Amino acid sequence: MPELPEVETVRRGLEALVVGSTIIGSTLGSFPGIIGDLDHGHFSALTNGSLITGVDRRAKYLFIETNGPAILQVHLRMTGRLLVTTTDADPIRFQYLAIHLDGNRDLRYGDQRKFGRVTLIDRDGFTALSDRLGPEPLSRLMTARGLQLALARRTGKIKSALLDQAVVAGLGNIYVDEVLFRCRIHPERVPSTLTIEECTLLVREIRRVLKSAIAFQGTTFSTFENPYGESGTNASQLRVYGKGGRDVPCVRCGTMIERIVVGGRGTSFCPTCQRLP
DNA sequence: CATTACCTGCAA
DNA sequence: TTGCAGGTAATG
């Protein structure tokens, strides 16, 4: 499940592999909807001949920048994969798009569940999207005070608030559970009741957990891979995610990790370390 | 605010 | 055979 660390891992791989390459064509597979509402002719007209000048990330979105009229916007959602291969390589699993680059290489997009998209946007589209996302947690724009302010008018549950990309950009189900465990905050805490001390702790642990996960090249449970086709190794670092209701003891106190549903998401936490006030 | 749709592999 | 996995948009 690609969240910020996994998307950042893909970004770094793509930056090393495709910046400086020119798009010379593309092949659409059996699910044309992968490129959104655009037809392949228009997609080609807007991308063929463009030089790839950079790869950026905002929240869980990737942006492949070009010197042409379009930016490629990629969202991997649940099972999307971007791989760089040779042009004559066999199709990757669930391949729906191949972008042909000069030098006999392809940028391939595969997606078992067809949730992800590779769409084209312009500079205004990027700005509009970026404007409705919250601060990047690895930048100075995320602050304890800002987080407390964003949480002040929230009446739901802290886990749901942190999953809202308008509050903090890039957290998903895995890392929210991990961050809350490390902060000893119950996932059902009312967001507006968090103290500034707790927000300071959250900011610190969000950064720590995400940076560490990037260093491990992301968490791979089944499908996540970097553009080289390599799995991430962060799964071994997880303390609670996926462990609730399976007789797994808390690494801190030995209490069995519990599983509940919060905002429709499976949630694992330690009922002893993470108590409601 | 919560719930559902979108998808498909896989575990129970 | 059923239901769960979950990021985001759409809906109630």
Question: Per-residue pLDDT tens for A132-191?
Answer: 999 999 999 999 999 999 999 888 899 999 999 999 999 999 999 999 999 999 999 999
CA of A261 to C1' of C2 (A): 19
**Angle between helix A196-215 and helix A4-18 axes, rounded to 10 deg:** 40
Looking at strand C, which nucleotides approach a protein CB closer than 7 A?
Answer: 4-9
Is A125 near strand B, with its CB below 7 A from some atom of it?
A: no
The pTM for the full model equals 0.96
Kindly report the number of other CB atoms within 10 A of residue A36's CB atom.
14
Instruction: Check residue A223 and give its pLDDT.
Output: 79
Instruction: Check residue A201 and give its pLDDT.
Output: 96
CA of A114 to C1' of B8 (A): 9
pLDDT, mean of residues A241-260 = 92
pLDDT, mean of residues A112-137 = 92
Instruction: Check residue A221 and give its pLDDT.
Output: 80
* A220 pLDDT higher than 90: no
Tokens describing residue A229: 């086709």
CA of A66 to C1' of B1 (A): 41
DSSP code for A35: G
* A37 pLDDT higher than 90: no
What single letter denotes the amino acid at residue A35?
I
Tokens describing residue A29: 């597979």
Residue A190 neighbours by CB under 8 Å, 6+ apart: A154, A155, A156, A157, A158
- Active-site residue numbers of A? 2-3, 60, 265
DSSP code for A94: T
Is A12 near strand B, with its CB below 7 A from some atom of it?
A: no
